[in-house]
Amino acid sequence: MSNQIKVIQDKCIGCALCVKSCPFGAIVLVDRPEHPKKLKLAVIDLHKCTFCGACMEACKKFGAIELIKEEPINLDIDPSHYRGIWVYAEQRHGEISPVVFELLNEGGRLAKKLDVPLSAILIGSNIESKAQTLIQHGADKVYVYDHPIFVEFLDDPYSDILAHLLEQEKPEIVLMGATNIGRSFASRVAAKIRTGLTADCTALDVDLSNRNLMQTRPAFGGNIMATILTPRHRPQMATVRHKVFKPSQKDESRKGEIVKKPFDAEKLINRTNFLQFIKDTSAKVNLADADIIVSGGRGLGKPEGFRIIEELAEAIGGAVGSSRAAVDSGWIPYSHQVGQTGRTVSPKIYFACGISGQIQHLVGMGSSDVIVAINKDPHCPMMKVATYAIEGDLYDIVPWIIKEIKKQNS
């Protein structure tokens, strides 16, 4: 039952006490020509009313306002009824998303600390054969929903089926990739099962004293790193960025349990239709999967500066990245942006050319194996975290690097 408020006409005398007491201007007096004494009537605008009860307090003497507030739902649960860590095994067209193997690796670490099994949830069409791959990468159990209705990702049927399974099996932690699908999907599932969700996590851990998942993510525009807890609700849900964790190694000798779940497809809600999948073929190298990335930032000073960035990337077989400042300036498309509001990458080598290294950018590339920073400012954050920091004018240094590479390759 939702909140309700009404004016009892027989008791209202039009005194205006309620009008004066309302902090939101939600009450007005209207004429009542039909009233024997021509008294006015208080009328409440439900679009403005917040059901605070101030008007009812002011009308105590006459009791002309009745407020009924919905009973708060007790969302507290007993955490002891929830056990296990689950990873949603996102797939598209039969291919498991790379972030899944990263989640299996991190999920396995957390499961070992909590001494619980690690499970995966696989939803798709003609997808059961991929369950063994998940076991080989660390899952102890794989729940499989294999049906033509899941041939393409659609929010309604996918969220319905996963929410039902979570309520049935009661895991304590659920991890999902912070992909386009994960960001749309996870929030719907969390809302259905009335639990919390922390999005775009960059670090995870568990407090063994109370089994709370410690979910760390950038906050306040990336200026601080906040650790978020969900102590009163289960399961604890988090989406994790791609390339934040290392992927699990495949072990073909691993054994596990595959559970094929039955369900009634006719009972699933579906309010949308899939029309067409159009693959982006514009990028020469996938930024998220690139082993080498050359990024340019504000220090380039002009959009033409990306010509030498592209030339260096081409010479070493890498992808072109950028800071947010370069994208905001219109020097390069958003698809190249690395950082909190762009892509999270973890290449073997990351070149940061003219990038100061604000925390928003460092969040997106900090796990790179080798960081080469080129900057005039020796004290900027990027120079401090770099494996190799080269102080100087990038317009002198980058062309020299390109020349040396071409010399070695000739």
Domain borders along the chain are 4-68, 79-266, 287-409
User: pTM score > 0.75 for this model?
Assistant: no
Q: What is the DSSP letter of 366?
A: T
Are 79-266 and 287-409 in the same CATH fold? yes
The candidate with the shortest Cα–Cα distance to 261, out of 154, 152, 136, 122, is 122
Protein fold of 4-68: Alpha-Beta Plaits (3.30.70)
Residue 251 CA: distances (Å) to CA of 4, 135, 169:
59, 8, 27
pLDDT at 75: 53
> Could you tell me the two tokens for 148?
């033509």
Task: Tell me: cis bond preceding 235? Omega within 30 of 0 counts.
Answer: yes
- When the candidates are 3.40.50.300, 3.40.50.1220, 2.60.120.10, 1.10.10.10, the CATH number that belongs to 287-409 is 3.40.50.1220
The predicted pLDDT at position 222 comes to 61
Burial class (CB in 10 A: 0-12, 13-18, 19+), 278: exposed
d(CA 294, CA 391) in angstroms, rounded, equals: 17
**In which residue ranges of the chain is pLDDT below 70?**
1-2, 71-76, 221-223, 279-285
pLDDT value, residue 211: 94
Q: What is the CATH number of domain 79-266?
A: 3.40.50.620
Helix or strand run (H / E) with residue 107:
helix 98-114
**Class of residue 231 by CB neighbours under 10 A (exposed 0-12, middle 13-18, buried 19+):** middle
Q: Mind listing the pLDDT tens digit for each residue in 190-232?
A: 999 999 899 989 899 999 999 999 999 877 766 678 899 998 8
What pLDDT digit, counting tens, does each position of 363-397 carry? 888 888 899 999 999 999 999 999 999 999 999 99
Task: Report the alpha-carbon distance of residue 373 to residue 380 in Å, rounded.
Answer: 10
Instruction: Enter the tokens of residue 252.
Output: 């073909």
Q: DSSP secondary structure string, 255-291?
A: --EEEEPP--GGGS---------------SS-GGG-S
Q: What is the pLDDT of residue 214?
A: 95
